[in-house]
C-alpha cells in the first residue's frame, strides 16, 4: 500500500489500513481538510465546490465519499461525474465555484486514485496552499456542519460545454478541418477520453473517427502512461487503419500524444512544439515549458523571434512562469499543452483541436509535418538513493564542476551545452535522482547521461 501526500494532492493505492493507502478514512480526512482551507479563502458564506472524476474502477466509491464529505462540511457540490481534468478545471470557473476536486491518479495504474486540488480559478494549488490543506487535514482542524447547514448536490454534464468552448477558440478552424476530410484514430485507454475525444473530433468535422479503447470502464487496455513502449499495439492498429493520424490520451486527458499515419511516433515531446508553431504563427509571443522538456520548443519559439523560458518541473510552476512572462502558449514535454486563451491547465482537447487546424492548414501528412522540426533524442535515467546520500551536496558539486556552462538551478541542476543538455533532480515521490539528457542522436544522449551518472557516483 502507498499513500503520497504532496502539494499537488493526495494519491495512493486503494485499500489497506488508514494512513497506508488511500483508504475511505483518508479520503474523508483530506477532503474535509480541503473544504476547511477553501472556507478560509472564500468570502462566500456557502461554498460551492466542483467534483469530477476519471473512469478508474475506484472512482465511484471515492466520488461518493468526497461528495458526502463536502456536503457534511456545509459545501454545495456541483458533481460533473465522468469528466476530464481540463473539463473539471473549466467547470470551476463557469460555476463561479470556490474550488474543485479532481478524482484521478492521471497515468498511474488502475490500483491508484488521487484527490487533485483546485482553487477558485480552476488551477492547481501552489506549494503554500497545498501545505495548508495537508496541515488542516492532519490536525483534524475542521468542523462538520449541523443538519440545517448541510450542503446540496447538483449534477451537471460539462463535457459538451468544454467541447463548445474549444470550438469557440479563435485559432481553432473547424472549416479547415472539415475541408481536410481527416480520418483520425483515438486511443483513450478505457477512461474518460473515450467520452470526450470522439465527441470533440466529430464536432470539429473529422470525417471518420476510429475509436480504440474508448469504453470508459476503468479497465485500462494497456499501461496508461502514453509513452512509446506502452503504445506498440496502438501504433500497429493506426498503421493498419488507413487513418491520417492517431491521438492517444492518458486516463484524465491532460496529455496528448500523436501517432503518424504510418504508425511511427510523432513523439510526445513534439506535441507542444507543433501546437506552439501554429499558435506563434498567428499570435506571436513568449513560450514556457519545464526544465526537463525538449529543446525543440525553444527552437520553434526563436524561429518567430520570441522568447522561451524554462520553469521548474510541475504544472503549477509552468503556469506561474507563463503568467510572469505573458506567454501565449506553454506546457510540458509529456504532451501537456497549456493555452491561456482557453484556460491555465493542460488540455488534450485544446491541443488536438489546435493540432488538427495546424495540420489542415499545412496540407502535409502528419509524418511530413514532424519532419519539419529538428530531431532531438532524449535519454531518461535514474540513480537509486540511500538515506545517507547528501543529494543537495552532490548537485552543488555538479553545478560547480560545470560552472563554465549555462547552468540553471531553480529545480535541481540543468546544464545546457551547445548541442545538448542534462537535467539532474531529486524526485519528489521516489528515493532517486532523475537524470534526463537530450542530444541530436540517441547515442549522444545516452553517453551524456552515462557520463553524468559516473560523475555523480564518484561524489557518493
Q: In order of start, what are the domains of the chain with their CATH numbers? A: 3-157 (3.40.120.10), 162-370 (3.40.120.10), 377-459 (3.30.310.50)
Give CA separation, 268 vs 102, 237, 331, 334, in Å: 24, 18, 12, 5
DSSP annotation of 146: P
Task: Confirm whether 106 is a catalytic residue.
Answer: yes
- Residue 272, H or E segment: helix 268-282
List 8, 23, 106, 437, catalytic entry: 106
Cβ-proximal residues to 355 (8 Å cutoff; 6+ apart), any chain:
256, 258, 271, 274, 275, 278
0.75 exceeded by pTM? yes
**What is the chain's Cα-based Rg?**
22
Q: d(Cα 346, Cα 88) in Å, to the nearest integer?
A: 12
Asked if 326 contacts 171 with a C-beta cutoff of 8 angstroms, the reply is no
One pLDDT digit (tens) per residue for the chain, 460 residues: 788 887 668 999 999 999 999 999 999 999 999 999 999 999 999 999 999 999 999 999 999 999 999 999 999 999 999 999 999 999 999 999 999 999 999 999 999 999 999 999 999 999 999 999 999 999 999 999 999 999 999 999 999 999 999 999 999 999 999 999 999 999 999 999 999 999 999 999 999 999 999 999 999 999 999 999 999 999 999 999 999 999 999 999 999 999 999 999 999 999 999 999 999 999 999 999 999 999 999 999 999 999 999 999 999 999 999 999 999 999 999 999 999 999 999 999 999 999 999 999 999 999 999 999 999 999 999 999 888 888 899 999 999 999 999 999 999 999 999 999 999 998 866 778 999 999 999 999 999 999 999 999 998 8
C-alpha cell at position 422? 542534462
Q: Could you tell me if 225 and 201 are in contact, meaning their C-beta atoms sit under 8 angstroms apart?
A: no
Amino acid at each position: 500500500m502507498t499513500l503520497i501526500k504532496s502539494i499537488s494532492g493526495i494519491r495512493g493505492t486503494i485499500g489497506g489500513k488508514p494512513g497506508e493507502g488511500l483508504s475511505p478514512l483518508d479520503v474523508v480526512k483530506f477532503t474535509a481538510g480541503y473544504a476547511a482551507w477553501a472556507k478560509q479563502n472564500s468570502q462566500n458564506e456557502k461554498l460551492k465546490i466542483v467534483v469530477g472524476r476519471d473512469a478508474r474502477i475506484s472512482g465511484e466509491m471515492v466520488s461518493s465519499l468526497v461528495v458526502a464529505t463536502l456536503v457534511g462540511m456545509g459545501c454545495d457540490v456541483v458533481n460533473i461525474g465522468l469528466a476530464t481534468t481540463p473539463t473539471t478545471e473549466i467547470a470551476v470557473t463557469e460555476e463561479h465555484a470556490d474550488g474543485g476536486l479532481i478524482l484521478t491518479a492521471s497515468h498511474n495504474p488502475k490500483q491508484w486514485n488521487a484527490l487533485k486540488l483546485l482553487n477558485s480559478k480552476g488551477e492547481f494549488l501552489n506549494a503554500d496552499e497545498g501545505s495548508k490543506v495537508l496541515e488542516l487535514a492532519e490536525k483534524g482542524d475542521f468542523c462538520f456542519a449541523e443538519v440545517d447547514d448541510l450542503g446540496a448536490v447538483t449534477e451537471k454534464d460539462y463535457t459538451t460545454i468544454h467541447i463548445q468552448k474549444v470550438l469557440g477558440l479563435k485559432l481553432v478552424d473547424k472549416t479547415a478541418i472539415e475541408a481536410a476530410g481527416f480520418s483520425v484514430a483515438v486511443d483513450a485507454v478505457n477512461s474518460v477520453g473515450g467520452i470526450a475525444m470522439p465527441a470533440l473530433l466529430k464536432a470539429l468535422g473529422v470525417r471518420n473517427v476510429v475509436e480504440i479503447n474508448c469504453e470508459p470502464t476503468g479497465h485500462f487496455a494497456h499501461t496508461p502512461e502514453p509513452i512509446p513502449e506502452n503504445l506498440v499495439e496502438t501504433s500497429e492498429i493506426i498503421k493498419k487503419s488507413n487513418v491520417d493520424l492517431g491521438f492517444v490520451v492518458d486516463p484524465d486527458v491532460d496529455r496528448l500524444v500523436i501517432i503518424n499515419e504510418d504508425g511511427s511516433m510523432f513523439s510526445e515531446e513534439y506535441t507542444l512544439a507543433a501546437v506552439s508553431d501554429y499558435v506563434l504563427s498567428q499570435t506571436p509571443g513568449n513560450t514556457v515549458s519545464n526544465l526537463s522538456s525538449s529543446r525543440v520548443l525553444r527552437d520553434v519559439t526563436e524561429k518567430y523571434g520570441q522568447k522561451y523560458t524554462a520553469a521548474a518541473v510541475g504544472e503549477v510552476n509552468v503556469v506561474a512562469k507563463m503568467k510572469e512572462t505573458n506567454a501565449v502558449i506553454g506546457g510540458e514535454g509529456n504532451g501537456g499543452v497549456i493555452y491561456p486563451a482557453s484556460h491555465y491547465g493542460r488540455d488534450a482537447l485544446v491541443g488536438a483541436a489546435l493540432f488538427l487546424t495546424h495540420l489542415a492548414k499545412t496540407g502535409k501528412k502528419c509524418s511530413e509535418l514532424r519532419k519539419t522540426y529538428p530531431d532531438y533524442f532524449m535519454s531518461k535515467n535514474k540513480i537509486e538513493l540511500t538515506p545517507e546520500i547528501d543529494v543537495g551536496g552532490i548537485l552543488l558539486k555538479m553545478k560547480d564542476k560545470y560552472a563554465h556552462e549555462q547552468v540553471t538551478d531553480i529545480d535541481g541542476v540543468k546544464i545546457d551545452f551547445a548541442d545538448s543538455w542534462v537535467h539532474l533532480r531529486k524526485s519528489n515521490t521516489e528515493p532517486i535522482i532523475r537524470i534526463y539528457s537530450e542530444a541530436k542522436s540517441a547515442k549522444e544522449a545516452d553517453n551524456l547521461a552515462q557520463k553524468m551518472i559516473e560523475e555523480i557516483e564518484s561524489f557518493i
